[in-house]
């Protein structure tokens, strides 16, 4: 059986199409010339940890990185190297003591890779429970992303945290300008964010226990306090054994699984089935006994779900209530059962289940409702018996969010500068211009490598920055551009 429309085959057809495109290089068929005057070779030396030795010039230096110009085939390039990658810097005579002046105009965003002195272990009496309090805010997949969470978890484990408390409030807004932002409606749903959620679930659900085991400790308890967990963020509390709600807390926004895919019924059913059971699988980690009913009710509008009570314990089941002691959670959303605009406006619809503090407690999913952090800590008995060892973890998340804001501005600036470069004038001017183009692209690559997962592709794509299938900047295409600029230079005649 040959599946010719596979992604990989799509790649080949793209390649073959590319082969038909006329060569867009300089017309002059001249021999390649190595530019002896391409760059003035500096006298600084960088020895990288991987063993590479570079000779060139330190352009600038911050606390976390060194911007270094060297050359390749006579073409200068400038790259920013994180100091963690650098073994030693040997400064030449030309460089001022202490290196070049730190760059002021466009400071590099704080690097997550930079090793700074570790916080000393927080000392606490042995009878105190060590906990890390970590706030997850911002847009899901941007401010809330796997790399900073992974770092926060590592730091929590290094502080031997026994409990990790996540306060979760993701931004759930319409896309648009800053003046038009408003909260999304309940009928708008983003089950498609599940794929991204899995990358973060892996960190909390799989990597964290492994980190703890490697450190010789029991995996920490994970607690979620939900203010808002909508869209992809809804899957976090679903996998947690301990969930508390804020009085206005909501978990949902994933109710479009049955409707988001179009195609042949059998293939669509396959897609629904695998997504549903992957989500159910993560929900099983919570130990909640009705994980499948819960996930079905939250993700598919046709699923009728009610709750009954056996020996005082809530039991979810498929179907309508059969006596006054049972309560309908979701109806079939058909005809007269479809949520009305009144219900949508007041968050009282029941086509799909959106958990709030009342129904979450009713079905035994929520451990309780608390309005403030101190109430939460009291509920967890951490107010007196606990000590917060998560200062560093919390800072990891803050650094990421503030870094992202600065990074987007820097990307726009670099991209504009790249676009403004004109390759014209005499040979030397053209060489300099191409060199500048490469420098800008290399700088963008360095940023994308570090921050790409959190940058909004909907902001990047309109600029013309290539986006890969995973929603992050496609570095291979940028590499291709750089290579072509180098070739243009080699073909250029004086």
Q: How far is CA 199 from CA 28, 204, 361, in A?
A: 49, 9, 28
* Closest CB to another protein among residues 379, 423: 423
Site for another protein in 71-110 (CB under 8 A): 87-88
Tell me which DSSP letter residue 102 carries.
Answer: P
Q: Which stretch binds another protein (CB under 8 A): 14-22, 183-191, 322-330, 449-457?
A: 14-22
**Long-range contacts at 202-208 (CB < 8 A, ≥ 24 apart):** 202/146, 203/146, 203/149, 203/150, 203/153, 204/149, 204/153, 204/236, 204/239, 205/239, 205/282, 205/285, 207/150, 207/153, 208/153, 208/157, 208/164
Q: Could you tell me which stretch among 208-216, 374-382, 426-434, 451-459 binds another protein (CB under 8 A)? A: 208-216
- Which residue, chain included where needed, has tokens 């202490």? 98
Strand order, beta sheet including 44-48: 75-82, 65-72, 53-61, 44-48, 86-90
**Quick check: 10 binds another protein (CB under 8 A)?**
yes
Residue 16 φ then ψ, to 5° = -65, -35
- The length of the chain in residues reads 494
Contact 297, 353 (CB under 8 A): yes
Within 143-202, the residues that bind another protein by CB under 8 A are: 198-199, 202
| C-beta of 158 vs 398, nearer to another protein | 158
Q: Does 266 bind another protein (CB under 8 A)?
A: yes
Structure tokens belonging to residue 180: 């038009």
The answer to whether 479 contacts another protein (rule: CB under 8 A) is yes
User: In the complex with another protein, which residue's Cβ is closer, 108 or 276?
Assistant: 276
Considering only residues 125-144, where is the footprint of another protein by CB under 8 A?
Answer: none
- Could you give the CA distance from residue 414 to residue 409 in angstroms, rounded to a whole number? 9
476 lies in the site for another protein, by CB under 8 A: yes
Residue choice 285, 315, 344, 423 for contact with another protein (CB under 8 A): 285
The least distance separating another protein from the CB of residue 273, rounded to whole angstroms, comes to 4
Least distance to another protein, CB of residue 238, Å: 11
Figure out which of the listed residues 51, 177, 312, 336 binds another protein, where binding follows CB under 8 A. Answer: 51
Span from 12-20, 183-191, 382-390, 398-406 in contact with another protein (CB under 8 A): 12-20
Residues 6+ away with beta carbon under 8 Å from 281: none
The binding track of 288-317 with respect to another protein, each residue x by CB under 8 A or -, is ---xx-------------------------
Among 205, 232, 386, 452, contact with another protein (rule: CB under 8 A)? 205
Residues 451 and 445: beta-carbon distance below 8 Å: no
Tell me how far, at minimum, the Cβ of 387 lies from another protein, in Å: 26
207 binds another protein (CB under 8 A): yes
């Amino acid at each position: 059986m040959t599946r010719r429309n596979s992604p990989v085959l799509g790649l080949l057809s793209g390649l073959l199409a590319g082969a038909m495109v006329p060569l867009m290089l300089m017309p002059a068929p001249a021999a390649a010339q190595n530019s002896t005057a391409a760059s003035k070779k500096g006298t600084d030396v960088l020895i990288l940890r991987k063993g590479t030795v570079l000779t060139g010039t330190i352009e600038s230096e911050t606390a976390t990185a060194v911007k270094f110009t060297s050359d390749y085939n006579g073409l200068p390039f400038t790259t920013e190297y994180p100091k963690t990658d650098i073994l030693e810097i040997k400064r030449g005579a030309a460089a001022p003591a202490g290196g070049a002046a730190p760059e002021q105009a466009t400071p590099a965003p704080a690097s997550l890779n930079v090793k700074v002195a570790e916080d000393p272990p927080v000392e606490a009496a042995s009878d105190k429970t060590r906990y890390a309090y970590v706030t997850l805010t911002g847009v899901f997949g941007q401010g809330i992303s796997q790399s900073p969470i992974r770092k926060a978890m590592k730091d929590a484990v290094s502080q031997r945290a026994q409990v990790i408390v996540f306060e979760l409030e993701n931004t759930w807004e319409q896309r648009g300008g800053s003046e038009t932002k408003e909260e999304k409606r309940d009928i708008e749903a983003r089950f498609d964010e599940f794929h991204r959620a899995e990358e973060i679930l892996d960190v909390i659900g799989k990597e964290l226990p492994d980190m703890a085991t490697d450190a010789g400790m029991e995996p920490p308890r994970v607690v979620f306090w939900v203010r808002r967990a909508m869209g992809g963020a809804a899957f976090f509390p679903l996998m947690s054994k301990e969930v508390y709600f804020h009085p206005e807390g909501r978990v949902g926004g994933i109710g479009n699984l049955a409707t988001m895919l179009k195609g042949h019924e059998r293939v669509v059913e396959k897609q629904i089935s695998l997504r549903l059971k992957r989500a159910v699988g993560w929900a099983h980690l919570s130990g909640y006994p009705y994980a499948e009913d819960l996930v079905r009710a939250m993700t598919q509008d046709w699923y009728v779900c009610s709750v009954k009570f056996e020996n005082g314990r809530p039991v979810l089941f498929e179907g309508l209530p059969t006596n006054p002691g049972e309560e309908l959670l979701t109806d079939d959303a058909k005809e007269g059962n479809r949520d009305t605009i009144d219900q949508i406006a007041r968050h009282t619809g029941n086509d799909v289940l959106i958990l709030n503090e009342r129904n979450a407690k009713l079905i035994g999913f929520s451990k309780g409702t608390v309005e403030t952090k101190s109430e939460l800590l009291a509920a967890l008995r951490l107010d007196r018996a606990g000590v917060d060892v998560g200062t560093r973890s919390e800072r990891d998340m803050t650094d990421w969010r503030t870094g992202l804001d600065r990074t987007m501005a820097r990307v726009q600036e670099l991209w504009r500068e790249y676009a403004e470069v004109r390759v014209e004038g005499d040979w030397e001017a053209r060489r300099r211009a191409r060199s500048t183009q490469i420098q800008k692209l290399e700088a963008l690559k360095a940023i994308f490598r570090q921050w790409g997962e959190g940058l909004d592709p909907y902001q990047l794509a309109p600029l013309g920055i290539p986006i890969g299938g995973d929603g992050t900047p496609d570095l291979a295409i940028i590499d291709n551009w750089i290579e072509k600029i180098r070739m243009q230079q080699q073909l250029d005649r004086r």
